Structure 1
Amino acid sequence: MSSLAPVNTVAHPASYQARLDARNGVATGPTANVAPGHVQGNLAILPKDMADEFLRFCLRNPKPCPILAVSEPGDPSLPELGVDIDIRTDIPRYRVWQDGVLVDEPTDVRSVWRDDLVSFLIGCSFSFEEAILDNGLPVRHIEQGCNVPMYRTSVPTQAAGRFHGPLVVSMRPLKPADAIRAIQVTSRFPSVHGAPVHFGDPAAIGIQDINRPDYGDAVEIRPGEVPVFWACGVTPQSVVAAVKPSFCITHAPGHMLVTDLINSRVAAL
């Protein structure tokens, strides 16, 4: 299942190489600005008996969980997103959860793969950073060569069955005029989180210390800049911690699947 129109996906050298580098253990770090121009995806893998509930959760929370594709049970390929994708190996780093507890962060999950697992690929804000840069706006974590800062908030998601938990956001600091432009730019990309959900006072959404992100790395906020927050595809990991499914696999925050899809395909006209 995919939220995108079917296409004859073609392997692009940069995106395919990014996946091969992850598969071969060459790339193990965050994927911001990797294969610019290509859509990146967050990952959540759950047993089949929870997949329908999680799908409903995503549909009820399209800002943090815009679905790019859903696999068949036990099938590690996602042909609508790229040639020769193996979701068990093609992300630089994974997280393995048992009963809501993080138990491992491997670079390959073939050893824990099961025939009942369903993969959900969720849009990632790394995809719209190309458009932000093209508009002359800064992306601080790219400038500083680190992971994007991400925060659990006090904003609840809309529950679906067993699934519930707090919204997670990513943050990019911008001057107020640049923030307005960033809102305009990113609102064209609803499949990869779209426009920000908040800017300004972090405490208004329950973030007590902007310099201590829950995931990723802190970045410099310069005089005259305001923090701008986008819904984040790490939200399912806060949900996993709340719901405590017996088994789950996710990406490590900031470590995405690089697809063969082009960013312009997910831009609204």
Structure 2
Amino acid sequence: MPLTLSLGSRFSSALWSLIPRKTPNIRILSNMTGGLQPASLVVLPQSLAPAFERFCQANSGPLPLLGRSPPGKWTAPAPDTRNGRPQFWKYELGACTSSVTSLEENSATLRDMVTFVLSCSSTPEEALEKAGLPCRTPAGGSLAGAYKTTVPCTTIAGFGCPLVVTMRPVPQGQLEKLVQASCSLGREQGRPIHIGDPGLLGIKDLSRPDYGDAVSCQPGDVPVFWPSQLTCLEAVSGCKTPLAFTSAPGCTVMTDLKDAETPASSLPPEGIPEVHQISQDPLHYSIASASAVQKIRELETIIAVDPGNRGIGHLLRAGELLRASLSLSHSRSVLITTGFPTHFKHEPPEENDGPPGALALAASLQALDKDVSLIVDQRALGLFQKLVDEAVGEGVLEMRVPLLTFQGGPAGAAQSFLCKDGDPTSPRFDHLVAIERSGRAADGNYYNARKMNIRHLVDPIDDLFLAAQTIPGISSTGVGDGGNELGMGKVKEAVKRHIRNGDVIACDVAADSAVIAGVSNWGGYALACALYVLNSCAIHRCYQRKAIGPPKDAGEQSWTRALPSVTKEEKMLGILARHQVRSGVTGEVGMVVDGLPFHDTHAHMIQKLVDVAAGRS
């Protein structure tokens, strides 16, 4: 079926006339419907066509492919005589050497090339209009700025380049309205891929775009970024082919080819997106479906039971598990710490609440291809080496978790540990997690629940959490069940008022998120399950991968197998028992955690969490 083209510009006052006599024969990749839509062209040698087609398919957000011509079927569109603006860029060996109004003079060469048609129909303007929000453009109606990022597109054969994005400022209070409108369009291309600090995309200065002119942000605005079809210019430049052509930025052709994705008129309840802020410095928002958010809130409620009647209900803050799991989902490198040497008269003094939850979370993070390390007391390093090795041997972990220690030092030691060469702009980790880790009280000591000072058994890993508060790009989570755990400084006033001995034992060091659980292991299990929920959410996955790379099928991923299970946690408690790690409350060695039997209590909790995550509740 032929493709009808007319040269046009998104900034023209009227649609340019169709040119029915100049109709390149384009192989259809999707169904045809009535009407026209704007598109851009990429013209490449026939030898590169298969790789470029796969490259577009692998990066469909910025490169939504509508069709391609068979080799040798090109007929060049005639130039528009009413506007002298160059419509095409010519590339030679990767360099843009000239711009031309017409491709007629290259018609002989083009007969040995293939033309790709990329959709330009889903734009930020369309989403803003649907949301009823004003669209701010550069002065004079010029091309709104587009920026090269440090985010790599998925590489195919000789094609690989950074993602190019465009930005529009949106008032903070209108973000969710905009995102819902964007998702209702039904196209991945039209959805935001980042909301917040441009530095997280590697963009240093919004006032200096790589293409077009900047759109200014006003007080109260949040930068919102979309994938840009101008990514194709970087791809063509990077492949360094002897000859290629592309549509010039801001110039389009009109085509009757249609996107394979059919725009949705409304969102189903499970597809309604929500926007949540996950950090302030740098400013960063995430997106997930309402159904995914509801599941995570349910997980938070489930773990908040108080079997020990400690009064932890007074410490709860709604949404902490959601914020922590969203932040972890966007992380690349996570440092987990655990270890509470409450039994100072025994060897080892550690309790068995903490390590199972920490390793369950580590397993999920590993399955999501994140770098994970575990940091413990130097005194307990040998013990944890055995625990990790045996966990791998029994299938609790898929692979070994690197073990680290930190024993403090002079001023700046924590920053030097957390950052490459001590440079706060280059953190080695972007999220710290403490699960049942002894936390420093206001007087500098560490206390168990009975007010016994265990400072002599604890390394100052708290310093890392304190340093992280001053390093942009590092977030933190603390999981606790009594208020004396690292990270519980966020709720220390409630600990002092409502927890027995709280005025003495309350941890003074805060984390960005404080996850409260009846048993701290449950918090680790809940975080692992929440990560599964998020990575099973199509809306979150699209946003997280920035619309590049092939979509993942949740049912076939290793992170499905990495979910906590009754069998794996029973094995983990057996490993701990073999090494004489005992219950924190009763001091028993065996299948008891915090005085609660595994099979009657903890196994039931694990199964309930997994059932909610998997949608079986």
TM-score normalized with structure 2 length: 0.35
Partner of 1:81: none
- Deviation, 1:22, is 9.9
Secondary structure at the aligned position of 1:58 is classed as helix
Secondary structure at the aligned position of 1:246 is classed as coil
Partner of 1:161: 157
Give the letter for the 2:17 counterpart.
L
Partner of 2:55: 57
Q: Is 1:148 the equivalent of 2:148?
A: no
Aligned partners of 1:22, 1:254: CA distance in 2, in Å?
20
Aligned partners of 2:218, 2:19: CA distance in 1, in Å?
34
Give the letter for the 1:20 counterpart.
S
Give the letter for the 1:208 counterpart.
K
Segments of structure 2 that go 5 or more residues without pairing to the other structure are 21-34, 266-617
Q: For 1:95, which of 72, 89, 105 is the aligned residue?
A: 89
User: What are the equivalent positions in structure 2 for 1:120-135 lying under 5 Å apart?
Assistant: 120-124=116-120, 127=123, 129-135=125-131
Q: Is 1:42 the equivalent of 2:40?
A: yes
Alignment deviations for residues 150-177 of structure 1 (CA, whole Å, 9 cap, x no partner): 0000000001111001000011111123
- Deviation, 1:54, is 0.1
Question: Closer, same or farther in 2 for the Cα pair 1:150/1:266, shift >3 Å?
Answer: farther
Segments of structure 1 that go 5 or more residues without pairing to the other structure are 1-5, 24-36, 78-85
Partner of 2:571: none
Q: Is 1:214 the equivalent of 2:210?
A: yes
Please provide the CA RMSD for this pair: 3.3
Question: Closer, same or farther in 2 for the Cα pair 1:52/1:191, shift >3 Å?
Answer: farther
Aligned partners of 2:255, 2:96: CA distance in 1, in Å?
26
Q: Is 1:173 the equivalent of 2:173?
A: no
Question: Closer, same or farther in 2 for the Cα pair 1:104/1:22, shift >3 Å?
Answer: farther
Q: Is 1:20 the equivalent of 2:1?
A: no
Question: Closer, same or farther in 2 for the Cα pair 1:259/1:132, shift >3 Å?
Answer: farther
- Deviation, 1:107, is 1.4
- Deviation, 1:51, is 0.3
Q: Work out which structure has the larger RCO, using CA pairs closer than 8 Å and 6 or more positions apart in sequence.
A: 1
Partner of 1:27: none
- Deviation, 1:144, is 5.3
Question: Closer, same or farther in 2 for the Cα pair 1:71/1:192, shift >3 Å?
Answer: farther
Aligned partners of 1:92, 1:116: CA distance in 2, in Å?
23
User: What are the equivalent positions in structure 2 for 1:2-17 lying under 5 Å apart?
Assistant: none
Aligned partners of 1:200, 1:22: CA distance in 2, in Å?
43
Secondary structure at the aligned position of 2:229 is classed as coil
- Deviation, 1:181, is 2.1
Partner of 1:242: 238
Give the letter for the 1:136 counterpart.
G
Give the letter for the 1:100 counterpart.
G
User: Is the CA contact (8 Å cut-off) linking 1:128 and 1:192 kept in structure 2?
Assistant: no
Q: Is 1:195 the equivalent of 2:184?
A: no
Question: Closer, same or farther in 2 for the Cα pair 1:179/1:73, shift >3 Å?
Answer: farther
TM-score normalized with structure 1 length: 0.77
Secondary structure at the aligned position of 1:187 is classed as helix
User: Is the CA contact (8 Å cut-off) linking 1:123 and 1:192 kept in structure 2?
Assistant: no
User: Is the CA contact (8 Å cut-off) linking 2:194 and 2:224 kept in structure 1?
Assistant: yes
Aligned partners of 2:153, 2:168: CA distance in 1, in Å?
22
Question: Closer, same or farther in 2 for the Cα pair 1:191/1:164, shift >3 Å?
Answer: same
Aligned partners of 1:184, 1:143: CA distance in 2, in Å?
28
Matched residues, number: 238
User: Is the CA contact (8 Å cut-off) linking 1:71 and 1:119 kept in structure 2?
Assistant: yes
Question: Closer, same or farther in 2 for the Cα pair 1:8/1:59, shift >3 Å?
Answer: closer
User: Is the CA contact (8 Å cut-off) linking 1:76 and 1:87 kept in structure 2?
Assistant: no
Q: Which has the higher helix share?
A: 2
Alignment deviations for residues 190-211 of structure 1 (CA, whole Å, 9 cap, x no partner): 5571311111100100101100
Question: Closer, same or farther in 2 for the Cα pair 1:261/1:121, shift >3 Å?
Answer: closer
Question: Closer, same or farther in 2 for the Cα pair 1:201/1:102, shift >3 Å?
Answer: same
Secondary structure at the aligned position of 2:155 is classed as coil
Q: For 1:67, which of 65, 82, 91 is the aligned residue?
A: 65
- Deviation, 1:241, is 2.1
Give the letter for the 2:218 counterpart.
R
User: Is the CA contact (8 Å cut-off) linking 2:154 and 2:160 kept in structure 1?
Assistant: yes
Give the letter for the 1:226 counterpart.
V
Partner of 1:31: none
Alignment deviations for residues 100-127 of structure 1 (CA, whole Å, 9 cap, x no partner): 0111111111112321121111122565
Aligned partners of 1:47, 1:8: CA distance in 2, in Å?
20
Secondary structure at the aligned position of 2:42 is classed as strand
Instruction: Single out whichever of 88-97 and 252-261 deviates more from structure 2.
Output: 88-97
Alignment deviations for residues 54-78 of structure 1 (CA, whole Å, 9 cap, x no partner): 001011111111111212223346x
- Deviation, 1:128, is 6.0
Question: Closer, same or farther in 2 for the Cα pair 1:121/1:268, shift >3 Å?
Answer: farther
- Deviation, 1:179, is 2.8
Instruction: Single out whichever of 188-197 and 232-241 deviates more from structure 2.
Output: 188-197
Partner of 2:228: 232
Q: For 2:101, which of 107, 110, 115 is the aligned residue?
A: 107
- Deviation, 1:87, is 4.5
Aligned partners of 1:121, 1:95: CA distance in 2, in Å?
15
Secondary structure at the aligned position of 2:141 is classed as coil
Which is higher, the Rg of structure 1 or of structure 2? Answer: 2
Give the letter for the 2:94 counterpart.
G
